[in-house]
Amino acid sequence: MDCSTVSETAPTDTTAHRLESLTSWDADWAGLAVVVTGISKTGFSVADTLAELGARVVVVAASDDAESLALADTLKIVGVKDVILGAATSTMLPLVEGEQPQLVVTSPGYRPDHPLLAAAAAANIPIWGDVELAWRVRTKAGRKTAAWITITGTNGKTTTTTMVESMLQGAGLRAIAAGNIGTPILDAVRDPEGYDALAVELSSFQLHWTESVAPVASVCLNLAEDHVDWHGGFDAYASDKAKIYANTQIACVYNAEQIETERMVEAADVQEGCRAVGFTTSIPAISMVGVVEGLLVDRAFLAERKDSATELAAISDIGDLVPRHLVANAAAAAALVLAYGLTPADVRKGLQAYHNGDHRIQAVASAEGVLWVNDSKATNPHAAAASLASFNPVIWIAGGLSKGVDYNELVREHAPRLKAVVLIGEDSSALANSLARHAPNVRVIMASGAHTETVGKTANGDGVMAQAVAEAAALSTPGDTVLMAPASASMDQFTSYAHRGQAFIDAVRELLESRASAKKES
């Protein structure tokens, strides 16, 4: 193990030229000295890929738990030279077999100012992300090369990506959703059979380290304040989101209801012939996909678009509970796949087969005139705003890890629909302050135990959620919606947004079952 720091010298012209030439699986990767950060799902896939390519790989990760140790053992078996675990060494850029690394491939969670990455930048060592690596190895002799359809946005990425996947599969294509969702992008690229197309969800973290990707079609669904702590400011966050459009081949799809996304397209350096296509939840103009009288329609990909539109699907094809932002996701997905070459029939078939998934405006129960809705995936104010706009009146369960965002606009806009708010989270003071300022007449209740010292995320979080549900139930009357849309991340009290959502589902079911049992006994 060698944790010596590298010298601040520029890479040789030979190294730079070699990296530029690495544009396929069959290129000369053998012996390339690479440091990989992280050993979780992404980091493991990166290290495994590079080892298979014959590169000399050293993995660095702060975690040194039993799972990380087991993954380290596996990586060494497949040819990784060394795995350095532990917080004490994770900030140092190591040498690779005594030599300066020629490349660093980083996992998305590592901020650009992380000491290891800062050291690499100071030494002029190129830094890629897993997506950049995946794009460069996507072609291999004897394996099908997939077209990429790329999706980002502050909210709605996963929904839109899985809609695209459903439409592609409905058209009979071998396709999969990958990237910042489910399957790591490198695992999808390395599939022995290959895919016709990939629906690739990209986070702002992944886009930050991406340069070469040239998708068939791309979209930034929306833009709102999020992850400003990682990026160092909103402008930097927006700039990384805008990278989704770079090098797009056929269509840059933008949100016609948010001018910022259209400006991203206008500023993008795209391939010759690429066009801009808008999506909207209203009547579409020319070169847009939108909605007319309950129908999703296309005015972008038909020859007679100046004075007619093509019906794609009925909004009811999406499901029974279809809030406005879900319609927007469907319109964006339709525009993306139409650009790729699918037909209106493929769009409808995909939407009819689509399942929105758990924890995304999920109707959990309807009892005694009260609707209980789980939107644990609403991890920031923009996502929570979409949920709140769908219901009225609302008893809102919210709070958690704020990530440094501002709640004032969210509360100011939706205060009229709030009947009461139940706060969870170890520190929801920022949201509480916004409620006091902009919704002073709305009753705010702190779930008992929400601000106590965490004993364990699972036990403490589940207990707090049960208390929050009980408080909401006591406040509810027929016609109300109890909406759990936290507008915050989950990691202060829960292991993930899914854990938080399941805690809500379990608490609601237990409460309703208890009430039903009590009624029978009486």
Annotated binding residues for ATP: 153-159
CA–CA distances in Å: residue 167 to residues 59, 79, 198, 313, 318: 38, 39, 12, 12, 12
How far, in Å, CA of 70 to CA of 72, rounded?
5
How far, in Å, CA of 501 to CA of 489, rounded?
12
Q: Can you say which residues are annotated as belonging to the binding site? A: 153-159
What type of residue sits at position 21?
S
Residue 43's CB is within 10 A of a number of other CB atoms, namely 28
Angle at 121 between CA 115 and CA 125, to 5 degrees: 120
How far, in Å, CA of 47 to CA of 56, rounded?
10
The helix-helix angle for 234-242 and 259-267 (nearest 10°) equals 60
Q: Which two tokens stand for residue 54?
A: 């014959």
**CA of residue 321 relative to chain centroid, distance:** 22
- Which residue has 């990455």 as its token pair? 117
What type of residue sits at position 94?
P
Angle at 195 between CA 192 and CA 197, to 5 degrees: 155
> 83 has which bridge partners?
59
Lateral strand order in the sheet of 310-314: 175-179, 197-201, 147-152, 217-220, 251-255, 275-279, 288-292, 295-298, 310-314
How far, in Å, CA of 348 to CA of 334, rounded?
9
How far, in Å, CA of 403 to CA of 520, rounded?
46
Sign, CA torsion 286/292/298/304 = negative
- Which residue has 């999808």 as its token pair? 188
How far, in Å, CA of 353 to CA of 21, rounded?
42
